[in-house]
């Protein structure tokens, strides 16, 4: 192999490295091979993306193994991209990342973080309809009615992103549908403004059931 012939495992073109490419494809075997050969897990692509970010959002069935290998070789689990988002935030953007989310949490990823817009992980989970992660994050102590820099709560983000699966879990946990953002719009008003009548009806039914 090229590594055996002295190839530089940390060579890069300023955009990607062998490790970042392997991580992005979730090739855990190649990731481990490169790491053992001395590849740096902290190579940063434009946008401040490290191999750990790329592995976490890979669609490969071995992505979790690639993430674990990177962590075992010192990858910074608390790293942030240029928008202030962590690797955990990336896993919440897409469905099917629960195993990787759990792995990162078990390895000490900070749950109480905000990106440059003041958005919490709970808001990310709410926007993506990640109901299981919503429960975990609230149980960990995140405030269901916390606000971002625009005054929006997790429930605002759920409604604005048509994330129906997030609405009921948030309401059951005490999300305030009357909370107003910095534009003076409550969750209900946001829903009406966007024409999300289905979400609004579902939320109203849940609120009614909570009164009895």
What is the CATH classification number for the domain harbouring 73? Answer: 1.25.40.20
- In the chain, the number of structural domains is 1
CB proximity list for 64: less than 8 A, separation 6 or greater: 99, 100, 103
pLDDT at 194 (0 to 100): 77
Quote the pLDDT of residue 38.
Answer: 92
Question: What is the reported pLDDT for 7?
Answer: 55
In a domain, 168, yes or no: no
Residue among 105, 123, 41 at smallest CA distance from 74: 41
121 lies in some domain: no
Mean per-residue pLDDT pooled into runs of 10, the chain (212 residues): 53 79 96 94 92 96 97 98 97 91 97 98 97 96 98 95 90 91 90 74 69 54
Tell me, what's the pLDDT at 96?
85
CA angle 151, 173, 141 (to 5 degrees): 75
197, part of any domain: no
SS3 24: helix
Residue 44 lies in a domain: yes
Contact, 148 vs 120, CB < 8 A?
A: yes
Residue 92 lies in a domain: yes
Parent domain of 65: 1-110
Residue 123 lies in a domain: no
With respect to residue 5, please indicate whether it lies within any of the assigned structural domains: yes
Give the per-residue pLDDT at 2. Answer: 44
Does 85 reside within a domain?
A: yes
């Amino acid at each position: 192999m090229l590594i055996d012939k002295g190839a530089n495992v940390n060579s890069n073109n300023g955009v990607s490295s062998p490790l970042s490419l392997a991580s992005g494809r979730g090739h855990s075997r190649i990731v481990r091979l490169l790491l053992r050969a001395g590849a740096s897990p902290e190579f940063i692509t434009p946008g401040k993306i490290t191999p750990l970010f790329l592995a976490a959002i890979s669609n490969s069935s071995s992505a979790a193994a690639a993430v674990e290998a990177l962590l075992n070789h010192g990858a910074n689990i608390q790293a942030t991209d240029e928008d202030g988002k962590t690797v955990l935030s990336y896993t919440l953007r897409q469905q099917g990342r629960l195993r990787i989310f759990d792995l990162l949490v078990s390895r000490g990823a900070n749950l109480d973080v905000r990106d440059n817009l003041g958005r919490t992980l709970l808001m990310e989970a709410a926007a993506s309809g990640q109901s299981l992660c919503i429960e975990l994050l609230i149980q960990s102590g995140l405030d269901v009615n916390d606000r971002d820099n625009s005054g929006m709560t997790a429930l605002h983000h759920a409604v604005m992103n048509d994330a129906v699966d997030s609405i009921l879990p948030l309401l059951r946990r005490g999300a305030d549908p009357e909370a107003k953002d910095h534009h003076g719009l409550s969750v209900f008003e946001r829903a009406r403004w966007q024409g999300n009548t289905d979400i609004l009806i579902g939320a109203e039914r849940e609120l009614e059931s909570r009164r009895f």
